[in-house]
Amino acid sequence: MSQTPASTSSREILWPSVITVISAAILIGAEVFGAAFAGGWALAILFGLDDTAAHVLQAVLFAIGVLIMAAFIRAAQRIEPFTRRR
């Protein structure tokens, strides 16, 4: 009986893909989170909310922005894979 090791395939990080996705995430994240804070402030003024309610609204919009960014990174990783097998 021969003892063959289990197939251990090493993975290589594709740095150009990683840098591209991170760069796009920074750019889009700045827009998403800026819109969340500005939108929360604008909606609070529109509806006549006090400062505490404005901050809560901004936090809710910020959380939605986090979900949007997570979805973006998952979708970008499918298009630009971060690793490949050698």
Letter for the amino acid at 5?
Answer: P
Rounded to whole angstroms, the Cα distance separating 59 from 67 reads: 13
For residue 48, being part of any structural domain is answered with yes
Mean pLDDT, rounded, for 10-16: 92
For residue 86, being part of any structural domain is answered with no
Residue 49 structural domain: 12-81
CB half-sphere exposure, 57, CA atoms < 13 A: 19
3-state SS string for 4-68: CCCCCCCEEECHHHHHHHHHHHHHHHHHHHHHHHHHHHHHHHHCCCCHHHHHHHHHHHHHHHHHH
For residue 54, being part of any structural domain is answered with yes
For residue 2, being part of any structural domain is answered with no
For residue 74, being part of any structural domain is answered with yes
Q: Give me the number of domains the chain comprises.
A: 1
For residue 1, being part of any structural domain is answered with no
Least confidently predicted of 6-10, 15-19, 57-61, 62-66: 6-10
Tell me, yes or no, if the pTM score tops 0.95: no
